[in-house]
Structure 1
Amino acid sequence: MNFLSGVELYYSSEKIKENSIYISGDDYKHIIKVMRHSVGDEIYITSGRGEIYLSTIKQIEKDSLTASKNKVFKYENEFSNIFFCIPKLKSNERLEFALEKCTELGITNFIIFDSERAVHKSDKKERWQKIVLSAMKQSLRSYLPTINIINSVDEILELEGRKILLEQNSENQISELKINKNEKYFFIYGPEGGLTKEELNLFDEKYRLDENRLRTETAVIKCASIITT
């Protein structure tokens, strides 16, 4: 596997056609206005689907550029079967921090949910998507995480796969969990006030992260670190 370092990574949301890659929007502005790249310069571009392309800028227009593919680096999504179910938090900044750090660690599937004790704020999916996009590029990863929003803990139960509740009073430690690549795992975290007794009773598999109580965002990041190590 090829590990890149010391490079700037850009993202193309356009469909990559044959030998041409198109970039517009914020990344185009950064390449041209900030980094001052010009025709003939080499840059690294990811599709967000497991490829990073070493490319040469061929054409610059008013709002977009075209680059040719020189070399492609392909990567496997090692954690495609891992889903992090994170409740809406009172502080959106803490939720964003958790999304950012988990993306840097390699988590690529997020589910944001409401619970009885969660603070019901408006969804900020567009902003959250920008957070994980930036984190993907910053950490030189090639898989753009997905973010889905659901309305209740009950909806998590309808998803196909093992449901792992992170619960401080569990006798099982998360380090004891053996991940099977052929199974889906949904890791569920509680909000600041915790899940209600009724919500806790919905889950059979429970694991603890630490002897001490952790903030939700700390628990999320710690679990991501353990799983991806």
Structure 2
Amino acid sequence: MQLFYTNHIVEGMAMLPEDESQHVIKVLRKRAGDVIYVTDGMGTLFEGTIYEAAAKEVRVNLEVLDKREKDTPDLTIAIAPTKNRDRFEWFIEKAVELGCTEIIPIWCDNSERKHARTDRWEKIAISAMKQSLHLYKPVIHPPTDVDDLFANAELDKDKMIAWLGEDEPSAFFSEAYDASKPSIIAIGPEGDFSDDEADLAKTNGWTPVSLGHYRLRTETAGFTVMSWAAQKQFEAES
């Protein structure tokens, strides 16, 4: 099954975005009367029958096939974009495939890159959602300063920080993470969080956690966290 996404749905009819329309017409060579599968990114799977087929605008009549409750980890990953663009885009793709639905890019003292490409990141996330047949659209938040994130008193989640500089032994994320609770984990840049940032996090109730005995690249750390969270979610539902 090939899945398409649109948020332009009114009374059982949908219009696909231009890039999706072009794929339907020019790549798949679909025409009026053909059937495609569509999601609204909010848990609904539709069977869509094309009634207007143009390269820049495909319109479909929809019939609900399935409505799913969110069955992926309620884990937000706040992560510093890597200097290498491809590595961060790889992280987004793989994290979404594993069920990540919320990513917050963060700027840190040691960030080597402070240029956001949120429109491109969102396209990558939507593509990964469709490829893996998830029905919930990932949210790629605007980048935020990590100090603002750590000081956010209204953040109603289990708060964890993956920090290499902790003197005392930290609990492993795989043990500290509770799949039954909304959670957030902060993952720093290649140079790690600064001591000031880590102190601010701990002062505001963020728990230091370990991702293992070895030093991981930023994107590898994000992927590892999501893999463990997905496994815990699976075990909780089994």
Could you say whether these structures have the same fold, taking a TM-score greater than 0.5 normalized by the shorter chain as the test? Answer: yes
Considering only aligned residues, what root-mean-square deviation do their CA atoms show, in Å? 1.7
Structure 1 residue runs of 4 or more that deviate by more than 6 Å after TM superposition: none
Structure 1 residue 94: deviation in Å?
Answer: 0.8
Q: Single out whichever of 154-163 and 109-118 deviates more from structure 2.
A: 154-163
| Distance in 1, Cα, partners of 2:177 & 2:118 | 31
C-alpha displacement of 1:167? 2.6
Looking at secondary structure, tell me which structure has more helix per residue: 2
Is the 1:12–1:24 Cα contact (8 Å) retained in structure 2? yes
Once the two structures are superposed, what CA deviation does each residue of 1:27-62 show, in whole Å capped at 9, x if it has no partner? Answer: 000001100111111110111111111121122245
Aligned match of 2:93: 100
Cα distance between partner residues in 2 of 1:20 and 1:151: 37
Structure 2 distance, partners of 1:200, 1:106, is 28
Matched with 1:124 is 117
Pair 1:73 & 2:72 matched: no
What aligned pairs does 1:96-175 form with structure 2 within 5 A after superposition?
A: 96-157=89-150, 158=152, 159-160=154-155, 161-168=157-164, 170-175=169-174
Taking structure 2 as the reference length, the TM-score comes to 0.87
State how far apart, in whole Å, the 2-side matches of 1:115 and 1:60 are: 47
Distance in 2 (alpha carbons) for counterparts of 1:107 and 1:151:
19
| SS of equivalent to 1:13 | coil
Structure 2 residues without counterparts, runs of 5 or longer: 232-238
- Bigger Cα displacement from structure 2, 216-225 vs 48-57: 48-57
CA shift in 2, pair 1:180/1:212, >3 Å: closer
Match of 1:216 in 2: 218
Gaps of 5+ in 1: 1-6
Instruction: Give me the whole-angstrom Cα distance separating, in 1, the residues matched to 2:20 and 2:106.
Output: 30
**Equivalent residues in 2 for 1:193-212, closer than 5 Å:** 193-204=191-202, 205-212=207-214
Question: Residues 75-113 of structure 1, C-alpha deviation per residue, up to 9 Å, x if partnerless?
Answer: 222347321001121111111111110000001001001
Question: Structure 1 CA distance, aligned partners of 2:40 and 2:66?
Answer: 11
Identity rate, percent: 30
Bigger shift: 142-151 or 190-199? 142-151
1:48 and 2:41 are equivalent in the alignment:
yes
Scaled by the length of structure 1, the TM-score of the pair is: 0.90
Q: Does 1:11 align with 2:5?
A: yes
1:180 CA drift (Å): 5.4
Q: Deviations over 1:146-198 (max 9, x none)?
A: 111344221112051222011345431112124253x4311100100111111
